[in-house]
Amino acid sequence: MDSAQLMPILLAPLSLSFAVMIILLGLYSLIFNAADAKDKNHPRAEQVARRGGWLYIMVGIALMIQQMISG
């Protein structure tokens, strides 16, 4: 794929469904990845899963707010 085909994809606006997908990904990380790391006794992996999950949720909410403001 050359840059002429890639640019329209990268410049496309982010949709509301993409924001919801990011939030669901964050919830998955919080629920399943953190629990799996805790079961396997990996405290740093659990901490990364929790922080990453919350980061994804905040980014998803920010994208939703941006979509609501821009119309």
Q: In whole angstroms, what is the distance from residue 38 CA to residue 41 CA?
A: 5
C-alpha 59 chain-centroid distance? 6
CA gap 28, 22 in Å, rounded: 10
pTM comes to 0.81
pLDDT tens, the chain, 71 aa long? 677 888 887 777 788 999 999 999 999 999 999 999 999 999 999 999 999 999 999 999 999 999 899 86
Phi-psi region at 41: left, alpha or beta (left = phi > 0; alpha = psi -120 to 50): left
- Residue 1's nearest CA partner among 65, 69, 10 is 10
